[in-house]
């Protein structure tokens, strides 16, 4: 899925790179396609609640200055004032009687040092305490204070302390950083290259640490992750909120982040800071969860435990805990009498003992703080103007905040610092937002919201812009009069000035003109180029251009988002000059280019989406095999070369060719597309899957025979589409609206608009690019307009949406209806994983699997089907049905019926049935991994192929829409067969994105490395192997599998038995033969048999033995009639004709005997069958299905095969709960109805 940019971000001046250049967004789609269980959710919640830090507190206490102190004691800084770094909120100050749930706490954790606190002179009356001696503490408590082993922290730097690291070989690990850092990792190199190698890490008493240089402007947060040289995101994304400008240190222990050195489990340190430096006679009185060893140190009231130890945060006492319920305490001044002995008259109560090992008190402040900066947890984190009379401010929390107090603290000002009156404020504690009412109607003003020491500009948000500037006119460059005139329009309402920078058609680096555009009422800027423009140009076609947008005194060159073609692109130049930051648009007239006879496909037998058989292919891969170099007339890897091999696909029998992204993508050098990559490498290559888009209207030049000619790519792609159509097949385009290659591509056009937004008004990102905010009017236009353009101009027949669940359903629905209006046979599908984030705190119905019961516009891939048959993320490689892992027969049967157990599909067309795609290991390779058998051994390869045929048979005989990955039919592999990689290699030599495969005895395969996501690999790894697909003499097993799959495709297309039109029809006609707990069939087994009835009455019975041993499936009752049918599929052959001597199949007097790893299909012609009774399910089979539904309804059955969710963002738990809930609903059958749009 994309040059997975988000595995991005940056760091230090000094660095060691991994040796892998760039990330090509290709991995996370299927990684997120995890099947979930409620048990998993519960386990994660419990684990999170019970987790405790394991770092040990300190014993090396720092002593307060005393004449009696020995020479090793250290002085407490005199009258140190920490309040200047706090930004303390008076709005929600908690009295000392506060309960735990009201304690002031900062949620995102980042640990800062407080060593640079301002020193103040003291008077005689404010001298520090004079006599402090050690108090009794547990000597095992050791917290790393500043030691000689730790270097000083430089200014504008954040130090990240790590208790442990995920691997002993530090050179295999890297620190990847982004957000408010001086140099994000993606600017130092692609994924995972840009990470700073942990071999540069230093050590201290806590563990390892790395320093991150912060951005010059005030930093608010730093995000990071730890990856490895293989490209794995080991830790998931983490964020440090810089709650104070003084924050310069954070401690990390597993998933725990803290602003202080964590202590050992079972202790809490109470730090007490006094501005006057006086700690004499100051003590602590404990009760509640304090251990008896602590309370026993207390004398008669008010003789408490004295503060006799001092650390970096003031004086402190380490309190041993008896439990984690509630700790009560008082601060005492034992010089006083009566109630005056209490420094704070009310009790301090702290309950969150499981999540904190240090707390912080200051002077007489009644608040318990959970950070050493005394920063209240109520902080302003963003603001945006939503109308002429309202501004929406976002806070970390609004719990316990009252309206009157907030009104006193909030300030609104204009650019000229003039205060603006606030007339009212409305608080929403749930969303942490406050809507501020006032007169904010000055058209030229930008308002600033200030809360304590934090200020944010309240720029107009997307809703406000939509209300003022939603534009329906034409955009992009439109050619008239054979190029003599060009009308150009771009939308940017906040721009102060927009100019057109025109480049020479013969030299895209040469500027030949600069023209100012005129602004319209809706934020659009326009210009018309003609003979009167003063350039002496009579035909502007072929010339290139940028827009230059000036805003707030700064100018930036941008790509026209509606550009129909581009200049040749080389991402390696992107950082060399601003003019190379994005591609240059080309002025073209697509309607005048290419075949004028191009029309939509006419596909025989394709009347509904269940009739489709989709075949996914990468344009370059399909013809990059050097073995066919002499057969090709066109340059390999191009649209033109693809045409030359189309007859293979026609003969295979598929209905639709799905092309991996062909729109312009970012990380590639198109000018080097002729260069073959014949060595084995999985990183730093000029190869890309295309999931890093920079244009949604313009094709990439990577697949053109001449990338420098902006018309050639249009011409050649039209030719490819036309030739596919001529062969009776359709074209599906893989499109990537869920993220862009770089957030600046759209952010520079109109800031804080085109992307989904965080609460603070910043763009939400995904894999380094922005998440296109398709709920926003103009962003939705980009999606719908580009889909419409591609259908209208290129006559494509469908779309596959990458990470479709990231979009709102309404946008996808609108795109479908627009496309269907042009092409009634349009087909749409997508990755319906539950991943929607949208605008923060603005829920919408996502276009994910939960939507499938409400629409017939698009289909979702079924991860449940995939995981049951061959395994999937995160358990990829574990035994599944076709790889020797017994699975629940009823679950598999429901999936065969296009009724997955993890989402509700009330129509078979809702479901894409697949077991392989471009992501992850190929089907052949995953089988080898699962059964632990090296394919270099002929017998092992034969077994892998037998299992592969079983998988392909199940895909092609299931209801719904089948999907094949290119090469799945012959056993495509992405094995790393470099001679230097025979056997296991050192960790720092492991190929990027590789799996190490081993035999059953644990020894590595001969060539043990297999690439699981080859988005940055060479042709040697990625090429479609034509010899294996067609050369029977050299590759008999491969070609047997290919012909077998071809026969299954022919069978599927010959009858509607496997592509029934509705759930009701499937429930009536598709019956389970192998009922669990009958005739030797177990609830979890390796055999399954089912039958389906075609509309003409023919019965097809499918028998699959995924067991290595022979198995007999007994036929009783009416199913015995099947024995009179004809066998049309056996261990090696498949098709529509009866087999005289089927291999591995024996029909006995009362059943079907199958050899190990063998399947068969028996066809009983309508004239032979008793249609009234053969289709009836046995009572016991019906009972089993009813029982399953009941169990699922009660939440007793969890059929989800994935056990963990990848760490991809803050909404993981929501995603888990949402998908788990969908799984329960799946058992309810077709109770949810929806309108049909055929």
Convert the pLDDT of each residue in 1132-1186 to its tens digit.
999 999 999 999 999 999 999 999 999 999 999 998 765 444 544 444 444 444 4
Question: Binning pLDDT at 50, 70 and 90, where does residue 143 land?
Answer: low
Any idea what the Cα angle at residue 614 is, between residues 610 and 619, rounded to 5°? 160
Fold for 1037-1174, please state it: Immunoglobulin-like (2.60.40)
pLDDT surpasses 80 at 929: yes
In this predicted model, which residue has the larger pLDDT, 535 or 192? Answer: 535
Percent of the chain at pLDDT > 90 equals 70
Q: Give the integer Cα–Cα distance in Å for 1102 and 955.
A: 12
Element (H, E) at 328: strand 327-333
In this predicted structure, the answer to whether residue 1095 has a pLDDT above a threshold of 90 is yes
Q: What local confidence, expressed as pLDDT, does residue 10 receive? A: 32
Predicted local distance difference test score (pLDDT) of residue 923: 98
CATH fold for domain 613-1025: TIM Barrel (3.20.20)
Please pick, among 802, 813, 907, 934, the residue that the annotation labels catalytic: 802
Q: Which residue has the higher pLDDT, 27 or 1015?
A: 1015
**How confident is the model over 526-553, as a mean pLDDT?**
97
Could you tell me what percent of the chain has a pLDDT over 70?
A: 82
Q: Is 831 assigned a catalytic role? A: yes
Predicted confidence at residue 443, as pLDDT, reads 64
888 classed as catalytic: no
From the list 1105, 1096, 1216, 1089, the residue with the least C-alpha distance to 1156 is 1105
Q: Sign of torsion, CA 1056 1058 1059 1061? A: positive
Give the residue-averaged pLDDT of 131-152. Answer: 50
Question: Region 537-565: what's the mean pLDDT?
Answer: 98
pLDDT above 60: residue 1228: no
CA distance 1156 to 947: 10
Residue 85 scores a pLDDT above 80: no
85's CB contacts (< 8 A; 6+ apart) are 114, 117, 244, 245, 246, 373, 374
Query: Are the C-beta atoms of 37 and 1197 separated by less than 8 Å?
Result: no
**Mean pLDDT value across residues 1013-1034:** 98
The whole-number average pLDDT for the span 36-62 is 35
The number of helix segments (H) and strand segments (E) in the chain equals 22, 55
Residue 452: the pLDDT is 80
Q: Which residue among the candidates 831, 906, 919, 1019 is catalytic per the annotation?
A: 831
**Whole-number average pLDDT of the chain:** 85
Question: Does the pLDDT at position 574 exceed 80?
Answer: yes
- Radius of gyration of the CA atoms of the chain, in A: 33
Please name the residues in contact with 1054: beta carbons below 8 A apart, sequence gap of 6 or more: 1136
The tokens 């402090």 sit on which residue? 132
**pLDDT at residue 717, rounded to an integer:** 99
pTM: predicted TM-score of the whole model, two decimal places: 0.74
Give the model's pLDDT for residue 25: 40
Is a pLDDT exceeding 50 seen at residue 1216?
no
- Any idea where the domains of the chain sit in the sequence? 157-258, 267-369, 380-460, 477-583, 613-1025, 1037-1174
Homologous superfamily in CATH for domain 477-583: Immunoglobulins (2.60.40.10)
pLDDT over 60 at 1192, yes or no: no
**Which pLDDT score is estimated for 214?**
95
The pair of structure tokens assigned to 649 is 């696909």
What mean pLDDT is predicted for residues 725-742? Answer: 97
Helix/strand/coil for 953 = helix
pLDDT at 1196 over 80: no
Residue 1217 in this model has a pLDDT that exceeds 50: no
> Per mean pLDDT, which of 179-183, 343-347, 756-760, 1007-1011 is the most reliable?
1007-1011
Query: Which of 143-152, 486-495, 877-886, 1069-1078 is the least confident region?
Result: 143-152
> 822 is written with which tokens?
């042009």
CATH of region 157-258: 2.60.40.1110
pLDDT (average), residues 887-913: 98
Inform me whether the pLDDT recorded for 232 exceeds 90.
no
pLDDT at 132 over 60: no
Q: What is the pLDDT of residues 392-448, one digit of tens each?
A: 998 887 876 788 888 888 999 998 889 999 999 999 988 889 999 999 988 667 899
Q: How many C-alpha atoms does 1086 have within 13 Å on its Cβ side?
A: 23
* pLDDT at residue 297, rounded to an integer: 95
Nearest to 1029 by CA among 968, 951, 965: 968
| CATH 3.90.850.10 applies to domain 380-460 | no
Q: Is the pLDDT of residue 175 over 90?
A: yes
Lowest-pLDDT choice from 122-131, 382-391, 534-543, 564-573: 122-131
Query: Out of 402-416, 443-457, 658-672, 998-1012, which region has the weakest mean confidence (pLDDT)?
Result: 443-457
> Phi and psi dihedrals of 14, rounded to 5?
-90, 135
Residue 17 clears pLDDT 50, i.e. is over it:
no
The string of DSSP codes covering 1088-1135 is EEEEEE-TTS-EEEEEEE-SSS-EEEE--GGGGGGGGSEEEE-SS-BS
pLDDT of residue 804: 97
Please give the pLDDT value at position 265: 85
Three-class secondary structure of residue 47 per DSSP: helix
**pLDDT of 1195 higher than 90:** no
Bigger pLDDT: 103 vs 657: 657
Has residue 208 got a pLDDT over 70?
yes
Backbone angles phi, psi at 407, to 5 degrees: -60, -35
pLDDT for position 759? 76
Average pLDDT over residues 214-223: 87
CA distances from 1086 to 825, 890, 1000, 1110, 1207 (A): 39, 12, 20, 11, 33
Contacts of 962 (CB under 8 A, 6+ apart): 612, 613, 614, 912, 913, 914, 955, 956, 1052
Q: What is the fold, at CATH topology level, of the domain defined by 267-369?
A: Immunoglobulin-like (2.60.40)
What does the pLDDT average to over 972-996?
96
For residue 633, the SS3 value is coil
Whether 613-1025 and 157-258 are alike in CATH topology: the answer is: no
Per-residue pLDDT, 444: 64
So what's the pLDDT on residue 1190?
39
Residue 149: per-residue pLDDT: 62
Alpha helix positions (H), 809-922: 809-822, 863-870, 889-896
Please state, in angstroms and rounded to a whole number, the distance separating the CA atoms of residues 556 and 547.
8
pLDDT-wise least confident of 348-362, 804-818, 1223-1237: 1223-1237
Q: Is the pLDDT of residue 1199 over 70?
A: no
């Amino acid at each position: 899925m994309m040059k997975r940019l988000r595995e991005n971000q940056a760091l230090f001046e000094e660095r060691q790179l991994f040796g892998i250049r760039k990330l090509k967004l290709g991995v996370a789609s299927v990684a997120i396609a995890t099947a979930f269980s409620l048990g998993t959710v519960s386990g994660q919640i419990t684990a999170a609640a019970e987790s405790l830090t394991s770092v040990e507190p300190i014993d090396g206490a720092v002593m307060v200055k005393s004449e009696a102190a020995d020479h090793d004691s250290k002085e407490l800084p005199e009258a140190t004032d920490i309040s200047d770094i706090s930004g303390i909120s008076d709005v929600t100050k908690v009295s000392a009687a506060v309960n735990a749930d009201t304690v002031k706490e900062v949620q995102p954790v980042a640990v800062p040092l407080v060593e640079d606190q301002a020193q103040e002179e003291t008077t005689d009356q404010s001298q520090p305490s004079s006599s402090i001696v050690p108090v009794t503490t547990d000597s095992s408590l050791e917290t790393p204070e500043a030691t000689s082993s730790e270097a000083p922290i430089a200014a504008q730097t954040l130090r990240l302390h790590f208790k442990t690291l995920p691997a002993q070989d530090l050179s295999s690990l890297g620190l990847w950083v982004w957000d408010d850092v001086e140099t994000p990792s993606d600017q130092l190199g692609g994924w995972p290259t840009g990470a700073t190698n942990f071999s540069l890490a230093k050590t201290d008493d806590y563990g390892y640490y790395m320093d991150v240089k912060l951005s010059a402007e005030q930093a608010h947060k730093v995000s990071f992750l730890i990856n490895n040289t293989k490209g794995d995101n080991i830790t998931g994304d983490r964020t440090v909120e810089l709650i104070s400008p003084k924050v310069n240190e954070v401690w990390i222990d597993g998933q725990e982040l803290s602003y202080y050195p964590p202590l050992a489990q079972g202790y809490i340190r109470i730090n007490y800071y006094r501005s006057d430096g006086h700690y004499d006679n100051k003590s602590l009185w404990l009760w509640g969860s304090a251990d008896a060893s602590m309370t026993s140190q207390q004398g008669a009231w008010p003789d408490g435990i004295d503060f006799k130890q001092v650390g970096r945060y003031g004086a402190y006492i380490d309190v041993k805990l008896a439990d984690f319920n509630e700790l009560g305490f008082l601060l005492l001044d034992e010089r006083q009498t009566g109630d005056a002995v209490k420094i704070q008259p009310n009790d301090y109560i702290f309950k969150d003992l499981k999540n904190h090992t240090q707390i912080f008190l200051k002077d007489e402040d009644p608040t318990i703080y959970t950070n050493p900066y005394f920063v209240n947890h109520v902080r302003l984190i963003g603001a945006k103007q939503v109308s002429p009379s309202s501004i929406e401010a976002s806070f970390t929390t609004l719990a316990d905040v009252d309206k009157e107090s907030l009104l006193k603290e909030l300030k609104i000002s204009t650019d000229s610092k003039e205060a603006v009156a606030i007339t009212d404020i409305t608080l929403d504690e749930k969303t942490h937002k406050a809507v501020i009412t006032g007169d904010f109607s000055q058209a030229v003003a930008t308002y600033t919201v200030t809360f304590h020491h934090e200020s944010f500009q309240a720029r107009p948000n997307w809703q406000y812009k939509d209300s003022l500037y939603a534009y329906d006119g034409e955009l992009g460059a439109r050619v008239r009069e054979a190029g003599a005139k060009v009308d150009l329009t771009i939308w940017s309402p906040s721009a102060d000035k927009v100019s057109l920078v025109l480049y020479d058609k013969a030299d895209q680096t040469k500027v030949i003109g600069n023209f100012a555009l005129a602004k319209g009422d809706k934020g659009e800027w326009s210009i018309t180029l003609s003979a009167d423009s003063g350039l002496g140009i009579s035909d502007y076609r072929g010339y290139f251009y940028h827009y230059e947008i000036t805003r707030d005194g700064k100018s930036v060159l941008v790509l026209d988002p509606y550009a129909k073609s581009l200049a040749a692109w080389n991402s390696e130049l992107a950082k060399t000059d601003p003019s190379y930051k994005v591609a240059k648009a080309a002025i073209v007239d697509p309607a005048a280019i290419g075949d004028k006879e191009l029309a939509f496909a006419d596909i025989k037998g394709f009347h509904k989406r269940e009739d489709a058989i989709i075949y996914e292919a990468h344009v370059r891969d399909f013809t990059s095999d050097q073995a066919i170099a002499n057969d090709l007339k066109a340059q390999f890897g191009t649209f033109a070369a693809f045409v030359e091999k189309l007859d293979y696909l026609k003969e295979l029998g598929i209905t639709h060719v799905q092309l991996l992204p062909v729109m312009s993508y970012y990380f590639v050098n198109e000018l080097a597309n002729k260069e073959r990559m014949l060595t084995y490498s999985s990183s730093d290559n000029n190869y890309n899957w295309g999931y890093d888009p920079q244009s949604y209207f313009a094709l990439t030049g990577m697949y053109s025979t001449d990338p420098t000619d902006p018309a050639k790519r249009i011409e050649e792609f039209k030719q490819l589409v036309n030739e596919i159509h001529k062969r009776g097949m359709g074209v599906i385009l893989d499109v990537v609206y869920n993220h862009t290659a770089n957030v600046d591509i759209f952010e520079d056009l109109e800031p804080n608009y085109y992307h989904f937004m965080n609460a603070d008004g910043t763009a939400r990102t995904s894999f380094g690019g922005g998440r296109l905010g398709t709920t926003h009017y103009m962003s939705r236009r980009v999606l719908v307009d580009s889909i419409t353009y591609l259908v209208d101009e290129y006559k494509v027949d469908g779309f596959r949406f990458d990470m479709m669940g990231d979009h709102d359903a309404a946008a996808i629905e609108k795109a479908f209806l627009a496309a269907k209006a042009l092409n009634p046979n349009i087909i749409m599908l997508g990755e319906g994983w539950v991943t929607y984030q949208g605008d923060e705190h603005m829920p919408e119905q996502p276009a994910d699997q939960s939507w499938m019961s409400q629409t017939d516009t698009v289909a979702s891939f079924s991860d449940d089907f995939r995981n049951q048959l061959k395994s999937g993320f995160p358990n990829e490689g574990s035994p599944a049905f076709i790889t020797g892992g017994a699975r629940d027969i009823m679950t598999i049967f429901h999936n065969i019926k296009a009724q997955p157990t993890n989402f509700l599909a009330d129509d078979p067309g809702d479901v894409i049935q697949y077991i392989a795609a471009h992501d992850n290991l190929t089907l052949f390779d995953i089988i080898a991994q699962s059964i632990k058998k090296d394919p270099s051994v002929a017998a092992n390869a034969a077994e892998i192929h037998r299992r592969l045929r079983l998988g392909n048979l199940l895909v092609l005989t299931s209801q719904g829409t089948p999907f094949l990955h290119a090469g799945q039919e012959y056993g495509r592999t992405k094995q790393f067969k470099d001679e230097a990689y025979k056997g296991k290699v050192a960790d720092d030599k492991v190929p990027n994105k590789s799996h190490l495969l081993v035999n059953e005895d644990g020894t590595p395969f001969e060539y043990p490395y297999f690439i699981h996501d080859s988005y940055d690999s060479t042709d040697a790894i990625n090429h479609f192997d034509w010899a294996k697909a067609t050369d029977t003499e050299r590759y008999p097993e491969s070609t047997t599998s290919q012909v077998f799959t071809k026969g299954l495709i022919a069978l599927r297309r010959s009858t509607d038995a496997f592509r029934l039109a509705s759930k009701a029809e499937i429930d009536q006609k598709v019956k389970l033969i192998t009922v669990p707990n009958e005739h030797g069939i177990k609830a979890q087994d390796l055999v399954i048999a089912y039958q389906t009835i075609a509309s003409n009455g023919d019965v097809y019975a499918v028998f699959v033995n995924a067991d290595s041993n022979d198995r007999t499936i007994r036929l009783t009752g009416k199913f015995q009639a099947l024995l009179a049918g004809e066998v049309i599929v056996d261990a090696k052959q498949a098709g529509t004709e009866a087999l005289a001597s089927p291999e591995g199949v024996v029909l006995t007097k009362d059943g079907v005997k199958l050899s190990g790893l063998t399947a068969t299909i028996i066809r009983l012609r309508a004239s032979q069958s008793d249609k009234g009774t053969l289709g009836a399910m046995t009572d016991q089979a019906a009972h089993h299905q009813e029982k399953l539904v009941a169990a699922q309804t009660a939440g007793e059955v969890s059929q989800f095969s994935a056990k963990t969710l990848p760490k991809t963002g803050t909404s993981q738990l929501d995603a888990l709960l949402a998908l788990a809930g969908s799984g329960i609903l799946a058992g309810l059958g077709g109770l949810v109805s929806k309108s049909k749009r055929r």
